[in-house]
Structure 1
Amino acid sequence: MNFLNTFASLFSNFGNLTWQMVVMWGIGALLIYLAIAKKMEPSLLLPMGFGAILVNLPLSGAITQGDTVGPISALFEAGMSNELFPLLLFIGIGAMIDFGPLLEKPWLMLFGAAAQFGIFFTLFLAGFFFDLKDAASIAVIGAADGPTAIFVANTLNSQYLGAIMVAAYSYMALVPIVQPPVIKLLTTQKDRRIRMPYEKGNVSQLTKILFPIVVTIIAGMVAPASVALVGFLMFGNLLRECGVLNALSETAQNVLANLITIVLGLTVAGQMTADKFVRPDTLLILALGLVAFVFDTAGGVLFAKLLNLFLPEGKKLNPMIGAAGISAFPMSGRVVNKMGLEEDNQNFLLMYSISVNVSGQIASVIAGGLILTLMA
């Protein structure tokens, strides 16, 4: 009898299983599939997918149950509740970015700013469905900047952190699918065939060193809440450009960035429990995130077309480069260059589109800081 009771107890946990948990297993499996089979942001989607399964097992020991603290919950308290993990990731991202092409043509920063239009449009739209802080957190999905989206959502204590992170990184990975139709809708074939000859300029080492310092000071004065975001990004870039910390720069680009990305994926998966994720709100968040992403792309393209109204023939801009002003680096820049070559096999836009893409990195971080300042 005791043996039967013991044997039966092994299966007692099945009674705690809900259909919502099974749905989350499916979502976790989908994220793992996309990471492995489609190579979509694998360093993040793989730990997120596995973590989503891990935390949706009945009475999972991976997250806190009663007085027993789970390891994923402990990681969340150690590195997410204080925004530490996203900020450390920004050091790695900053160390990866070469601002040289942008510094050769600083006017391209305007496109990075214009491509944040979707964030503020979606903030207005989401305000009809969510409270203001959740609406602001959802709107930042449009920047296609996962760490910024996580930082803003966590700082504003959004209850939708898991859904926001899934949306932000999914749309980053879907740039080659989402952006081309939007660009083609807003441009003519003549627009897409505009050539922009590139003349390489010279940027001194001193300029590259001063740039992250100056950007941090200006951003801090304009949007104080952005100091942590911009500061850590620019510190990473300073490691890259200073010329005396090459080993630290390489460590930040590889070891630090990869380690934090894995931990970040597992940690945010702790917020993807069935009771928080399987609800109509999640679909609405995904839809609003797509709206933000589309309008960010449109904002950059339309801004370029507006400038063309005032530029003489021979000096006009290819409007497609405006679409690269989102933060999905370097995917968006490559997509724009590929579209240019498809229209004209001698139309090389890569240096312009990558420069705009880099400006989008800065603009999205500052936009996130502005959102935090407005919500304060």
Structure 2
Amino acid sequence: SLLLLWLAIAKKFEPLLLLPIGFGGLLSNIPEAGMALTALESLLAHHDAGQLAVIAAKLNCAPDVHAIKEALALALPSVQSQMENLAVDMGYTPGVLALFYKVAIGSGVAPLVIFMGVGAMTDFGPLLANPRTLLLGAAAQFGIFATVLGALTLNYFGLISFTLPQAAAIGIIGGADGPTAIYLSGKLAPELLGAIAVAAYSYMALVPLIQPPIMKALTTETERKIRMVQLRTVSKREKILFPVVLLLLVALLLPDAAPLLGMFCFGNLMRESGVVERLSDTVQNGLINIVTIFLGLSVGAKLVADKFLQPQTLGILLLGVIAFGIGTAAGVLMAKLMNLCSKNKINPLIGSAGVSAVPMAARVSNKVGLESDPQNFLLMHAMGPNVAGVIGSAIAAGVMLKYVLAM
């Protein structure tokens, strides 16, 4: 927790999230305070033999804390909820951070509201002006699915134990999209949420360090100097229609992606319609800032030492950086592949912006391009795949939810 606070304050690494996450972790680890404990966890920490016996009888297990925790881990959500209510009836109350978590993340509300704010701050213009860049955003999502396979491989060889839902939640780190990572891990693997959120936001802050070596290794000096044609002007009508058409197409084909993409498109429609400027301004500023505070503190509730300091955490951090690397490489290689069958060349550097770290990845593409040609400005071109990456990560999350929860 202190390390996260130091990174946020001294190094300015994603301070808007890492500072509340770090402080939430600090609060959750205060001995005897129990601020991050649910009512049931408070009961288990109290070690009252009679109360443990009642819980154990309901779960049909031995009346000791370890056996009860194992039984709860295997129990259905409805049974877990029943045990939580039983603990409340016995006089135990959840800590304030546990309540924040239940309302903000357990319900899925906070990541969705933040996605709405991101939508209100997003300009689809560069993507609409050059629709081909949608393929770059799609290619960069390869890092997500490659990481799922990596997590399952670690489990197969007995190195670190990951279930399929946990592997899917870890994989979404490769999308470089914090709200999506929190939303998906909250649904599939809440026990890993703290580590996944910390990894996602830490690596998003490290994009300027992680991406350039990969970009330079996969491109030649000549490719980095490619100048792209000027983007066309996108009409107001196109910008208004796009979020509506996008939502209808994706929601009909993949309903599980509708919550994330729906909030994103709604936020963007408020921005582009021009008729609800007060709402758009509130979503972009006040609302997203308030929700970010509670989201960060809620994630901090999952940084309790006995849950966070596990071998799985190290595996998540390792897989996270690999996911970023694969996503970056896939975007660059897709751009090179598209150049083989295209008259209007794409600078491969903008392929790395396909990861949805907006706008950091686009800025990195622009910066690396300027190093090779000081007059080659790629920022607006890179925003196309950058925005496509946001859409891609939301769709990838929908795919995970649809198929993993069905198993």
TM-score by length of 1: 0.90
The yes-or-no answer on 1:138 pairing with 2:170 is yes
The yes-or-no answer on 1:109 pairing with 2:138 is no
Q: What is the distance in 2 between the residues matched to 1:42 and 1:307? A: 37
CA RMSD of aligned residues (A): 1.2
The yes-or-no answer on 1:43 pairing with 2:75 is no
SS of structure 1 residue aligned to 2:390: helix
Q: What is the distance in 1 between the residues matched to 2:101 and 2:252? A: 31
AA at the equivalent of 1:123: V
Q: 1:159 aligns with which of 191, 194, 219?
A: 191
CA contact (8 A) 1:87 1:229 kept: yes
Q: What is the distance in 2 between the residues matched to 1:45 and 1:105? A: 34
Q: What is the distance in 1 between the residues matched to 2:172 and 2:385? A: 19
SS of structure 2 residue aligned to 1:159: helix
Alignment of 1:206-245 (within 5 A): 206-245=237-276
Alignment of 1:303-314 (within 5 A): 303-312=334-343
**Aligned-pair CA distance for 1:333:** 0.2
Alignment of 1:260-271 (within 5 A): 260-271=291-302
Among the aligned pairs, what percent are the same residue?
A: 52
The yes-or-no answer on 1:246 pairing with 2:277 is yes
CA contact (8 A) 1:212 1:238 kept: yes
Quote the residue 2:96 is aligned against.
Answer: 71
**More displaced stretch, 360-369 vs 166-175:** 360-369
CA contact (8 A) 1:137 1:158 kept: no
- Give the number of aligned pairs: 346
Quote the residue 1:258 is aligned against.
Answer: 289
Q: Deviations over 1:83-116 (max 9, x none)?
A: 1111111111110101112111122111110110
SS of structure 2 residue aligned to 1:347: coil
**Aligned-pair CA distance for 1:322:** 0.5
Q: What is the distance in 1 between the residues matched to 2:236 and 2:346? A: 29
Gap regions ≥5 residues in structure 2 = 44-91, 156-161
CA contact (8 A) 2:165 2:404 kept: yes
Quote the residue 1:82 is aligned against.
Answer: 107
SS of structure 1 residue aligned to 2:132: helix
Q: Deviations over 1:315-371 (max 9, x none)?
A: 322111100001000000000001100111111111111121111111111111111
The yes-or-no answer on 1:281 pairing with 2:306 is no
Q: 1:348 aligns with which of 373, 377, 384?
A: 377
**Aligned-pair CA distance for 1:210:** 1.4
CA contact (8 A) 2:22 2:300 kept: yes
Quote the residue 1:23 is aligned against.
Answer: none
AA at the equivalent of 1:51: G
Quote the residue 2:226 is aligned against.
Answer: 194
Quote the residue 2:61 is aligned against.
Answer: none
CA contact (8 A) 2:36 2:304 kept: no
CA contact (8 A) 2:36 2:302 kept: no
Q: What is the distance in 1 between the residues matched to 2:259 and 2:331? A: 26
Q: What is the distance in 1 between the residues matched to 2:234 and 2:359? A: 21
Q: 2:32 aligns with which of 50, 59, 73?
A: 59
Query: After TM superposition, what 4+ stretches of structure 1 lie above 6 angstroms from structure 2?
Result: none
Q: What is the distance in 1 between the residues matched to 2:104 and 2:387? A: 27
SS of structure 2 residue aligned to 1:142: helix
The yes-or-no answer on 1:334 pairing with 2:363 is yes
**Aligned-pair CA distance for 1:236:** 0.6
Q: 2:303 aligns with which of 252, 257, 272?
A: 272
**More displaced stretch, 109-118 vs 63-72:** 63-72
CA contact (8 A) 2:223 2:348 kept: yes
SS of structure 1 residue aligned to 2:195: helix
CA contact (8 A) 2:339 2:345 kept: yes
**Aligned-pair CA distance for 1:68:** 2.6
**Aligned-pair CA distance for 1:244:** 0.8
Q: What is the distance in 2 between the residues matched to 1:264 and 1:31? A: 15
Quote the residue 1:21 is aligned against.
Answer: none
